[in-house]
């Protein structure tokens, strides 16, 4: 791990600790800790697991511990500090085993009737970044660390108009293992910007945003031994229109312009439908890549406009996606995700094409116990960044146990605390 990343992470851990300490007295009179996700144990078979220049077919077991969350809510503050560990274990060889972890801090504070502050910091550490199913650029095994800080100072200009002064900082550090030409990169980006949201009606909202992005590579040379020159600053403006045709049907369209040495445009769209027990959504997005996890189904700034992992920070990716989730009967439920992306280059070898899809079928045995089977597929072409194609699949069966109170019950308690009402005490 490179020194700049250690410094950045240490500073954020310190901030998290200070916020935890500051809420200590407030949470002392109530239960502050919850398990906000189930414990999940699954076992099955993985095919095409990247191991250097080889691909392996091996049995595997994944244990995902429940998300351990510190929560504090009051009429003026909402605070969450969460940690989610996961163990990915292969029958052989054990050097492929991965310890994956995610940490999240969220803090929303109402400073006055018009001013509020939002802070969101997310950390990810893993040796198998591909299994997260969150990026359109797949990586072979190797230590991957990512930290994204998203902050905004919000001003309620009128009952229908809101202004956000934004600052984002994102850092990625990655080192491939067992490759004949190892991949490595360490990059930080800083984005400052302004967003204005206006609600014309209860159904129609328009959002406009301006952002200024600067990126820094902490690696002096790339994997070919070439000197990495400073990246040119990037400016982009984006407008988004959101329209609820009915309470259960949402349309969003977005468009924008990117100004840098390779000027380009941004465009996207989303359709989301809430059925009685299901939610179905599909979208297309042409977005600016940098670091973070792309979200092709959403067009709300800033997260989906600073996406992409190892790609050059001025790249433009085109992504289509589809998702469906919900209950199809009293006991059976389904979750489905499909994502395909293309980042164009001057030749086929410099063009990145990837696709991934997953489906999970759940059977609810009781309010707390669920059995499931799931299948995931990952595909990526050979390209200038990773000259070995990725073709990976996984088939698992498992069981999940939800602790009490359930995530839905926790959400209701938090809403009651936020509104100043007495929380439920089931």
* Structural domain that includes position 59: 3-419
- Give the model's confidence band at 73: pLDDT under 50 very low, under 70 low, under 90 confident, else very high: confident
- Does residue 227 lie in a domain region? yes
- Does residue 189 lie in a domain region? yes
Distance CA 308, CA 289 (A): 5
**In CATH, what number is assigned to the domain containing residue 248?**
2.40.160
Domains: count for the chain = 1
Tokens of 358: 């997953």
- Does residue 68 lie in a domain region? yes
For 242-260, write each residue's pLDDT tens digit. Answer: 999 999 999 999 999 888 7
- Does residue 223 lie in a domain region? yes
For 374-407, write each residue's pLDDT tens digit. Answer: 999 999 888 777 777 889 999 999 999 999 888 8
- Percent of the chain whose predicted confidence (pLDDT) is above 70: 77
pTM given for the model: 0.80
Q: Is the pLDDT of residue 116 over 80?
A: yes
Nearest to 191 by CA among 159, 151, 247: 151
- Does residue 424 lie in a domain region? no
- Does residue 172 lie in a domain region? yes
Mean pLDDT lowest for which of 21-35, 100-114, 137-151?
Answer: 21-35
Instruction: Please state the rounded mean pLDDT for residues 297-325.
Output: 57
- Does residue 351 lie in a domain region? yes
- Does residue 426 lie in a domain region? no
């Amino acid at each position: 791990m490179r020194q700049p990343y250690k410094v950045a992470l240490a500073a954020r851990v310190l901030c998290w600790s200070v916020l935890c300490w500051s809420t200590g007295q407030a949470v002392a009179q109530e239960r502050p800790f919850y398990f906000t996700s189930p414990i999940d144990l699954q076992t099955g078979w993985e095919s095409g697991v990247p191991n250097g220049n080889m691909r392996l077919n091996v049995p595997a077991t994944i244990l995902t511990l429940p998300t351990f969350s510190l929560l504090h809510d009051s009429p003026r503050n909402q605070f969450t500090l969460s940690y989610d560990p996961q163990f990915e274990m292969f029958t052989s060889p054990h050097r492929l085993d991965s310890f994956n972890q995610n940490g999240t801090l969220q803090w929303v504070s109402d400073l006055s009737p018009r001013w509020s502050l939002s802070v969101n910091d997310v950390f990810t550490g893993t040796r198998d970044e591909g299994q997260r199913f969150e990026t359109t650029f797949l990586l072979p095994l190797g230590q991957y660390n990512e930290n994204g800080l998203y902050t905004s100072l919000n001003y309620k200009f009128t009952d229908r108009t809101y202004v956000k002064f934004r600052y984002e900082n994102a850092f990625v550090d990655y080192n491939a293992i067992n490759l004949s030409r190892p991949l490595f990169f360490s990059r930080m980006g800083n984005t400052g910007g302004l967003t204005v949201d206006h609600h014309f009606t209860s159904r129609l909202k328009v959002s406009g945003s301006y952002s200024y992005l600067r990126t820094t590579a902490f690696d002096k040379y790339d994997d070919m031994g070439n000197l990495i020159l400073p990246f040119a600053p990037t400016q982009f403006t984006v407008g988004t229109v959101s329209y609820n045709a009915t309470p259960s049907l949402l349309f969003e369209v977005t468009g924008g312009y990117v100004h840098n040495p390779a000027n380009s445009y941004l465009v996207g769209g989303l359709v989301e439908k809430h059925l009685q027990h299901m939610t179905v959504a599909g979208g297309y997005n042409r977005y600016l890549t940098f670091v973070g996890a792309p979200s092709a189904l959403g067009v709300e700034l800033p997260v989906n406009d600073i996406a992409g992992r190892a790609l050059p920070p001025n790249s433009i990716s085109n992504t289509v996606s589809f998702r469906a989730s919900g209950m199809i009967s009293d006991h059976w439920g389904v979750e489905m995700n499909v994502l395909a992306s293309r980042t164009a280059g001057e030749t086929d070898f410099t063009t990145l094409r990837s696709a991934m899809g997953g489906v999970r079928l759940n059977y609810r045995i009781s309010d707390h116990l669920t059995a499931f089977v799931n299948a995931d597929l990952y595909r990526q072409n050979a390209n200038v960044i990773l000259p070995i194609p990725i073709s990976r699949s996984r088939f698992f069966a498992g069981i999940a146990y939800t602790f009490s109170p359930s995530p839905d019950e926790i959400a209701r308690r938090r809403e009651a605390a936020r509104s100043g009402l007495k929380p439920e005490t089931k």
